[in-house]
Amino acid sequence: MKYWIRALFLGVLTMFVAGCAPKGLSQSAPKISPNLPTVTSIKTISSMTAVGFEWKMIPSANIEGYRLYRMQSGKAKAKLKRVAQIDDRYSSHYVDTGLKPGVEYLYQMSTYDAKGFESRQSQPVSVKTLPMIPSVSFVRAIANLPNRIKIIWRPHRDLRVVGYVIERARVTEPEKWKRLTIVKNRLSAEYIDKDLGEKEVYLYRIRVKLCNGLVSEPSTEVKAITKPLPRPPVDVKATTGLPRMIHLQWRASPTPDVVYYKVYRSPFAIGFYSYRAKTTNTFYDDKVNEDGKVYYYKISAVDKDGLESPLPKTPVYGKTLDKPSAPIITAAKVSFNQAIIIWEPGDSRADRYDVIRTNWDGLRTKKKVYKNIYGTKFVDKFMKPGVKYTYRVIEIDKNGLRSEPSEPVELFISIKE
């Protein structure tokens, strides 16, 4: 007999999971006939969401079948409600489905005839559905990952488990839980919550989902924090007196897993800073093909996971070496058909000079440069009478930086009549 109860129970339970649960019944008040036989010897077997019944069949021609009534025990103002009508007096088994796990129910049965009259109710039968299985027994949140938190757990041993419901809440609002996703497959053991911010703290918990759609109570809560951004380098300095270059140097970021630094610069202290370079060193030489060029710099640190520190609010000021000052011509004259030019250095950086001579030859301007003159005097022995010559002097320092030309002077040899 017990085999028949289990077989019938499993068959009907499968139909219920597939969406074939019996439809609701009308709930008119029953008309009692004391002459109809009553149901006896009711036996039950239960699962989490169903109760299987077996009773002593009554093959009387006076009845059409059986009616089943149910009430949830301990529920305030609960009343018996008809949940099934079995339209065959030769039946002796039925499964009541769609129940709640771990809940006690009270059942009674009656017979009914062709006119709709019912017998007296059977003795009440108390049945408790099986409790819902607990959630996973072990769950852990792995923190300090870049923009993500990894959740791992021990796969559930119950073969009815088909997935895991992952829920999350903010530490500041621990009562507001949000369902993130359902991880399919009982043997799954991790979930990675991505696209998070830096240094954000969250709570996580897991529910198991069964093949019949039931979801367990949540697991133990776990807490984790995402990885913070690395700290920027400190004590950043930039030079202001190197030729055609600005040398930057700094002390390493206090964050231990920084792998390189990014250099940003701008011609203005306040404004957009464009990416210039990256380096694994704690210095950088920015080559600038201009003299006296000003740039402002900001340095960031990047860790092994690609997280970049915020740029500092205050930039560092750098500048290439200015051009040397132009020399000052103090004397210019023609003597013995030679031009004599004398000057003073524009500043103390003078190393040598170039003298530029220009003249008009009737068709175009001719230019000649006398290079690398060490001293402050120049004699032009190659003047032609009647030709006006213009002279300018450029100062050159030891780095090869050239000044602007001096103020010009004009000299010529008169044509004798």
Task: Characterise 336 by phi-psi region: left (phi > 0), alpha (psi -120 to 50), beta (else).
Answer: left
pLDDT at 362: 79
Is the domain defined by 2-128 classed in CATH 1.20.120.50?
A: no
- Whole-number Å distance between alpha carbons of 217 and 137: 12
pLDDT at 153: 98
Determine the CATH number of domain 328-411: 2.60.40.10
- Whole-number Å distance between alpha carbons of 406 and 417: 34
DSSP bridge pairs for 335: 338
- Residue 319 · residue 294 · CB < 8 Å: yes
Q: What is the DSSP string of 310-359?
A: PPPSS-EEEEBPPPPPPPEEEEEEEETTEEEEEEE-SSTTEEEEEEEEEE
Q: What's at 258, amino acid-wise?
A: V
pLDDT at 91: 97
pLDDT at 27: 57
CATH 2.60.40.10 spans which residues of the chain? 2-128, 139-225, 234-319, 328-411
Is the domain defined by 234-319 classed in CATH 2.60.40.10?
A: yes
- Residue 395 · residue 375 · CB < 8 Å: no
Superfamily per CATH, domain 139-225? Immunoglobulins (2.60.40.10)
Tell how strand 365-373 and strand 377-380 pair up: unpaired
- Whole-number Å distance between alpha carbons of 291 and 403: 10
Q: What's at 74, amino acid-wise?
A: G
Each residue's pLDDT tens digit in the chain (417 positions)? 444 444 444 443 433 333 333 444 545 678 899 999 999 999 999 999 999 999 999 999 999 999 999 999 988 888 899 999 999 999 999 999 999 999 999 999 999 999 999 999 999 999 999 999 999 999 999 999 999 999 999 999 999 999 999 999 999 999 999 999 999 999 999 999 999 999 999 999 999 999 989 999 999 999 999 999 999 999 999 999 999 999 999 999 999 999 999 999 999 999 899 999 999 999 999 999 999 999 999 999 999 999 999 999 999 999 999 999 999 999 999 999 999 999 999 999 999 999 999 999 878 999 999 999 999 999 999 999 989 999 999 999 999 999 999 999 999 998 875
